[in-house]
Each structure stands twice: as C-alpha cells, then as structure tokens.
Amino acid sequence: MLASAAFPVAPLRDAVTLGDAPGATLRLTVSHVATAPFSDLADAVSLLTVRQHVAFLLTILLAFVAWRVIRKKARASVGRRAGAEALAGGGLLLGVLAFYAAAVLMSRPMAALGLADADELAADFHTHTRYSHDGRAGLTPRRVRAWHRAAGYDVAYVTDHRTLAGAAEALETNPARAGEGTSLFSGIELISGKLHLNVLGAAPADSPHFRLRVLGPDSVGRFRPADGSDAVILLTIPGDLHRVRPAMRIGAVEVSDAAPRGLEQTQAEHAEIVRLADTANLALLAASDNHGWGQTAAAWSVLRVPGWRDLPPPALDRAIRRKLATERRAAARAVERRRPDLADSPLGIAGTAPQMLWLMLRTLSWPERASWLAWTWAAWGAAELLRRRRG
C-alpha cells in the first residue's frame, strides 16, 4: 500500500490518446473513502473485460490451491484432509460469489467525474431502463437519473431497445434548467445491417418510425425527428466495424463502452475505432451502456457548451446534437477510468489479477490509502484478539 504511493498515476485518462485527461478529476464521497477496500476492489473488477474476468477468477483459484497445499497438516488423515479442503473450497466459492453479487447488486458509493471548466458537461449517450428487454427490473427513469447524478453525468440519453416508453417517462421529470440536476434526453437503440445503432434525438412522437426491431440502412439514414432537429446516429460497441455503410449516415462511434463485451472490443480494436473516426469524421464518444447492474461508471463524454447550465433541457438536447452533427470529430472528448491494458495473448491475459491490483493501488488517493490501512489494522487486531482468546 505504501510502496505503490511512490508510483502514482491519475485514475482518469483520455480514452482516445490513452494519456492524461487535463481538467478532469475523480471525485469521491466520504462514504466511498470510508469503504475504500470494498469500493475500490468492486470498481476495479467492474472495469474488466470478459476474458479478464475469467483470468481473475482462475488466478484466485490457483492462489487458493497453492495456499492450501503449503499450509496443509502433514499428520491429518486423508479423510479429514479431504473434508477440510472441500469445506474450504466451498467457502472460497461462496465468498467470490458474494463479492460479485455485492458489486453488481448492492447500492454503494460511486466515484464521479469532476470538470474544471464550468462550460464543459459530462454526457452519457447510451443507457437503458426497465423498458428494454434486457434492462433490470425496477430500473425506472428515476433510478437512471439518480445513478447518473451519482456518477457525475450532467445529461444522459435514454436509448432503450426498440421502444421510446422509457425516454417518454424520463422527459416528464427533467429540471427546469439543465444546471439544476441531471437531464435525461430521448433516443432509441435498434439493429440495422446487423449493427446496433443509437438514434439520438428520436422522440416519443417518432415511435411509428421504429415499429420494427430491424431497420434497413436507408431507412435509418433518412430519419428526421418530428420536431425537425438534428438526429445523430451512434454506432455502439460491440459491433463489426466492417459493416458500416454510408447509407446509415453514422455521425459518432463509441470509443469506450462499459459493458464487459464492449470493454473487450474497445480494448482489442482501439486503433481501428480511432482510425474509423478519423477517416469518416465521426465523433468519438463514451457510454455507460447501463442496464441496471453495478455502481461503477467507466467513462464519460465531455462536451463544451458555453452557458449550458442556464438552458432548458430541450434546448440543451438540441445544442448537443447540433454540435455532434456539425463538429463531428472535434465535438467531444472521452474520459475513462484507467483499467488493465493487457496484450492480446494468453500470457498477457494471465497477468490480469496482479496488473489490476497494482494499477488500483497506484491510482489511490491518500485518504483512500489511510482507509485501507485502517481497515487492515482493524482486521489484523480482530484476528489477533480471536487467536489469543482461543489460546
């Protein structure tokens, strides 16, 4: 814990350059710092890709087996040893399942994005509610707003699968001015050319246009919102970049998607995604792809809109979409949490656990380190007291 403080690194980075993100900080609540050992580990695990999750769990298993072999009692009978190992293995399994369940299901403190420039705002262009077929039951627009507020988002686009019902409900409870709270805007996620596309700006009045689950590229490209404003087509990840067609009129692509499969592709194909954006002049955006599981925001889209706090939410929505439609590649920057960047090889993936833990330790603030040390000493003191009482 103390040695890692000699090699500090900022917990946030630019999702495109993978360097520092100037003007962006990670804000922690008192409760997050107080529960740092659990909150930091839950955040770190939430930022793993699918294969990294597998590697992390296998590392825990191998470390457990090695520990049990080293400390086994030479005089124990085979039957007693087998029973003890089965009991210990069951305890390990329950412990791991309990940790993952707590990280995914528990309401816990969230780390939030802080921006130094008052004219910048943090946006999420891909989130869901219970109206999506794969959304968590109970994920109402009200809870979506609370989740995004806790993570430091100023605006979020509700893009449920094939329905605008969640967006319609969300629009009813927006603040009078954008600066008074997190605003939710309208969009929809659909399939076109086997790609998942988010149509930002699709409003409840446009529902008849999206009756079908799958729309052709021409149909998507010709769409205009009923109010005559700009629609922005966002290519979501995961997806096959080679299936992009000019007829789709895509204006943006995700460079960071917080779903495990999204993290997998954005890490493996980062250079291809940036190259596509540079070639086609697309905005590079970050998205939570939140379906109601977990309390970790992996990335934020940051846009500069002077005076945005005084705008009514509908006006800010149109301003954001106009900015994306006109400025394209220069419209936004993506800021993300640092996470393990492992080589796409068996050896690289095998190093998930040590790299994840070392990176987590290097990004800790001093209040978090103090919390870790306090919990460590408290646990050691409790264990020592129990040992003496048994003795």
The pLDDT of residue 76 is 52
**Banded model confidence at residue 209, pLDDT cuts 50, 70, 90:** confident
Give the pLDDT confidence of 325-343 residue by residue, as tens digits.
999 999 999 999 999 876 5
Q: What is the Cα–Cα distance from 124 to 150, expressed in whole angstroms? A: 13
CATH 3.20.20.140 domain locations along the chain: 112-337
C-beta of residue 283 within 8 angstroms of C-beta of residue 256: no
C-beta of residue 167 within 8 angstroms of C-beta of residue 187: yes
The pLDDT of residue 265 is 94
Q: Which residue has the higher pLDDT, 207 or 128?
A: 128
**Banded model confidence at residue 18, pLDDT cuts 50, 70, 90:** very high
With a cut of 80, say whether residue 25 has pLDDT above it: yes
The pLDDT of residue 74 is 46
What the block records as the tokens of 233 is 């087509």
The pLDDT of residue 84 is 76
Mean pLDDT of 15-34: 96
Pairing relation of β-strands 283-287 and 299-304? unpaired
- Across 11-15, 64-68, 271-275, 309-313, least confident range: 64-68
Give the pLDDT confidence of 155-168 residue by residue, as tens digits.
999 999 989 999 99
Whole-number average pLDDT of the chain: 92
Architecture, CATH, for domain 112-337: Alpha-Beta Barrel (3.20)
Q: What is the Cα–Cα distance from 254 to 301, expressed in whole angstroms? A: 10
The pLDDT of residue 345 is 67
DSSP assignment of 228-251: S---EEEE-SSS-GGG--GGG-EE
Give the pLDDT confidence of 120-171 residue by residue, as tens digits.
999 999 999 999 999 999 999 999 999 999 999 999 999 999 899 999 999 9
What the block records as the tokens of 193 is 């050319």
The rounded radius of gyration (Å) of the Cα atoms in the chain is 23
C-beta of residue 89 within 8 angstroms of C-beta of residue 62: no
Beta strand spans in the chain (E): 12-14, 24-27, 112-115, 120-127, 155-161, 183-192, 195-200, 232-235, 250-257, 283-287, 299-304, 333-337
The pLDDT of residue 33 is 97
Dihedrals phi, psi of 42, to nearest 5 degrees: -65, -40
Q: Which residue reads 């409790």 in tokens?
A: 382
Q: Backbone dihedral region of 18: left (phi > 0), alpha (psi from -120 to 50 degrees) or beta? A: left
C-beta of residue 226 within 8 angstroms of C-beta of residue 199: no
With a cut of 50, say whether residue 314 has pLDDT above it: yes
Burial 57-93 (b: 16+ CB within 10 A, else e): eebeeeebeeeeeeeeeeeeeeeeeeeeeeeeeeebe
With a cut of 60, say whether residue 285 has pLDDT above it: yes
pLDDT above 90 covers a percentage of the chain that reads 78
Q: Which residue reads 């993570």 in tokens?
A: 151
What the block records as the tokens of 52 is 């990294």
C-beta of residue 300 within 8 angstroms of C-beta of residue 152: yes
Q: What is the Cα–Cα distance from 319 to 178, expressed in whole angstroms? A: 12
Q: Which residue has the higher pLDDT, 79 or 23?
A: 23
- Across 49-63, 153-167, 201-215, least confident range: 201-215
